[in-house]
Amino acid sequence: MSGPFLPVKNGSLTVFLCLKVIEFMSIIDYDKYETVIGLEVHAQLLTKTKLFCGDSASFGAEANTHISEITLAYPGTLPKLNRKAVELAIRMGFACHCEIERTNYFARKNYFYPDLPKGYQVSQHTTPICKGGFVPIKTTAGDKKVQLNRIHLEEDAGKSIHDIDDKFTCVDYNRAGVPLIEIVTEPDLSSAEEAFAYVTEIRKLVRHLDVCDGNMEEGSLRCDANISIRLKGEKTLGTKVEVKNLNSIRNVKKAIEFEVKRMIDLVEAGEKIIQQTRSFNADNDTTFALRTKEEANDYRYFPDPDLPPFIVTDEQLQKIMDAMPALPEQLIEKYRSAMQLSEYDARVISEDKGLIEYFGSLTIHTTHYKSAANWLLGPVKSWMNEMAKPISSFPVNPARLAAAIDMVENGKLSFSTATSALLSKMIEEPTKEPMELAIELNLLQDAGSDEVSKWVDEVLAKMPEKVAEYKKGKKGLIGLFMGEVKKVSKGKADPRITTELLNEKLNH
């Protein structure tokens, strides 16, 4: 017999059961542990040119076409700092509530690798341009401000390509020298869900600020996850493992989930966690070791003698601050308090730059803010989904859409007619005024519709139980409501308008 079974002559059943109980009790209690995560997110800045020369920084060009002598580090070449990259880094710093460093310098991080033409990477070692700060996130566990350690500027390396030639690894230097910011959190995240929410928020922010395109598949946003575990209540941090180059938000979550379980299983098996750099295998959602701490590089950082320190002035900071768009968190606050939108609507609009802009214009032309949000997130969003197009391609301009919204609010036509017949026509003929189209299509309600609306309200207010039953699915009750409206209006209510209004009021 193997494992916990002991050879016993008598009472073997009792012993067997006892051992089963012990085995059951030793099932791992994962809840004893807590997870500690710190994330390092690299974001490629949306500059036209590289961090220290005029080579194009764009993605997807033919290999090795954006490679001047400076990118290739020919002897005698000198780097020159890209002002726009500094501005974008500060922009992100403002959005994350960081303190901005005024006296900055660059350091050389020395290591040898084929994709690094200079033999060192220029980075900010001791003076990151942004210090501290936080990013607010929302999870099922509640609201949290994820504390940042720093945001610093650095240049990207080239790209080694292992799969286009059988015998050789090829190198593309187009990416070498492209400007990045690295956003580093404190070890302040405590679950895969929080990490997911944080990277989602970062991607939203960089896109909102035009700092980075946020495209994780193309590698313009990449994440390294540092993960450790400890017993709940423990104060000191556990030994961390770093999972490199996660290229989707889902993979960040999956890598953390896998690592946490792997580490707890190790500790429970009496083994020690070793500090490692690991990589994620998206084919089977596991991680594997790349190198251990003993093999870690000593980068021999020192200030780059070719790059003088750069000073950020008050005037520069003011200019960048003045050009900042309102942040999503500020917009949500404004939509909720000044415009009375629901939390949900406010969030959905604030998540899409195009929607923010369109809604902004819409609310210049109409003060019916809630209706404007309903139109935008209802029929307009359906159009976007159906056509798979962004709001910037929506043919109807905000002024005309606002006019249609006001027509409904003023009782000229019903919401359902406006968002179906009229809106389709407006999309077909976006240069015509909605009133003109409504007349053409004979959609306007006769003068009585305001009165009918009052009768309908009166009837529905009188029969709350029936309304509740209808809403639960007893749709046949519509006949009863129709009859009542006919009665209270003494037969004056137009049945077509009555049906339309009843449907609208009962179903919205």
**What track of x and - describes contact with ligand ADP for positions 384 through 423 (by CB under 6 A)?**
----------------------------------------
Task: Give the nearest distance from C-beta 268 to ligand ADP in angstroms.
Answer: 19
Task: Please give the Cα distance from 292 to 277 (Å, whole number).
Answer: 6
For ligand ADP, the binding residue among 49, 228, 287, 414 (CB under 6 A) is 228
DSSP 3-state assignment of 188? Answer: coil
Residue 152: name the closest of 51, 300, 249, 228 by CA.
Answer: 51
Rounded Cα distance between 44 and 85, Å, is 10
Smallest distance, ligand ADP to C-beta of residue 189, A: 8
Of residues 304 through 343, those in contact with ligand ADP by CB under 6 A are none
- Written as one letter, the residue type at 32 is K
Among positions 34, 115, 186, 213, the unique one binding ligand ADP when judged by CB under 6 A: 186
- Using CB under 6 A as the binding rule, whether residue 36 contacts ligand ADP is answered as yes
- For position 40 contacting ligand ADP by CB under 6 A, the verdict is yes
Query: Shortest CA distance to 177 belongs to which of 152, 160, 161, 157?
Result: 157
Chosen residue from 187, 354, 378, 411 binding ligand ADP by CB under 6 A? 187
Q: Is the distance from CB of 310 to CB of 341 less than 8 angstroms?
A: no
Distance CA 274, CA 455 (A): 75
d(CA 266, CA 364): 60
Identify which range of 50-58, 106-114, 184-192, 485-493 contacts ligand ADP by CB under 6 A: 184-192
Number of residues that bind ligand ADP (CB under 6 A): 16
| 184 binds ligand ADP, rule: CB under 6 A | yes
Task: Based on the shown chain and the rule CB under 6 A, indicate whether residue 34 belongs to the binding site for ligand ADP.
Answer: no
Bridge partners of 40? 184, 224
* Minimum distance, C-beta of residue 51 to ligand ADP, in the bound complex (Å): 21
> Please, what is the minimum distance in Å from the beta carbon of residue 240 to ligand ADP?
4
Question: Applying CB under 6 A, does 43 fall inside the site for ligand ADP?
Answer: no
In the set 17, 28, 231, 237, which binds ligand ADP (CB under 6 A)? 237
Binding segment (CB under 6 A) for ligand ADP, from list 155-163, 185-193, 382-390, 436-444: 185-193
Tokens of 440: 């053409």
Reported as type and span, the H/E element at residue 181 is strand 179-185
Whichever of 188 and 352 has its CB closer to ligand ADP, that residue is 188
Cite the DSSP H helix spans in 209-274: 249-268
> Taking a C-beta distance cutoff of 8 angstroms, is the pair 404, 422 a contact?
yes
199 touches ligand ADP by CB under 6 A: no
Q: How far apart are CA 350 and CA 355, in angstroms?
A: 7
Q: Write the DSSP string, 305-325.
A: TTS--EE--HHHHHHHHHTPP
54 binds ligand ADP (CB under 6 A): no
Strands 170-172 and 159-161, bridge-based pairing:
antiparallel
* Nearest distance, CB of residue 38 and ligand ADP, angstroms: 2
> Would you say 187 or 378 has its CB closer to ligand ADP?
187
Question: Distance between CA 77 and CA 20 in Å, rounded?
Answer: 73
The nearest distance, CB 241 to ligand ADP, in angstroms, is: 8
**H or E segment at 149?**
strand 142-155
Closest residue to ligand ADP, judged by C-beta, is 38
Residue 226 interacts with ligand ADP (CB under 6 A)?
yes
Helices (H), ranges, 410-477: 415-417, 423-428, 434-440, 449-462, 464-472
Phi-psi region of 300 (alpha: psi -120 to 50; beta: other; left: phi over 0): left
Binding to ligand ADP by residue 37, rule CB under 6 A? Answer: yes
Q: Which is nearer to ligand ADP, 39 or 404 (CB)?
A: 39
Q: Contact region for ligand ADP (CB under 6 A) — 183-191, 284-292, 420-428, 455-463?
A: 183-191
Site for ligand ADP in 238-277 (CB under 6 A): 238, 240
148 sits near ligand ADP (criterion: CB under 6 A):
no
Asked whether position 379 contacts ligand ADP by CB under 6 A, the answer is: no
Cβ 373 to ligand ADP shortest distance, Å: 37
Q: How far apart are CA 423 and CA 404, in angstroms?
A: 8
Q: Which residues pair with 490 in a beta bridge?
A: none
Token duo for residue 405: 């919204």
- The residues that touch ligand ADP, with contacts defined as CB under 6 A, are 36-40, 149, 184-187, 226-228, 237-238, 240
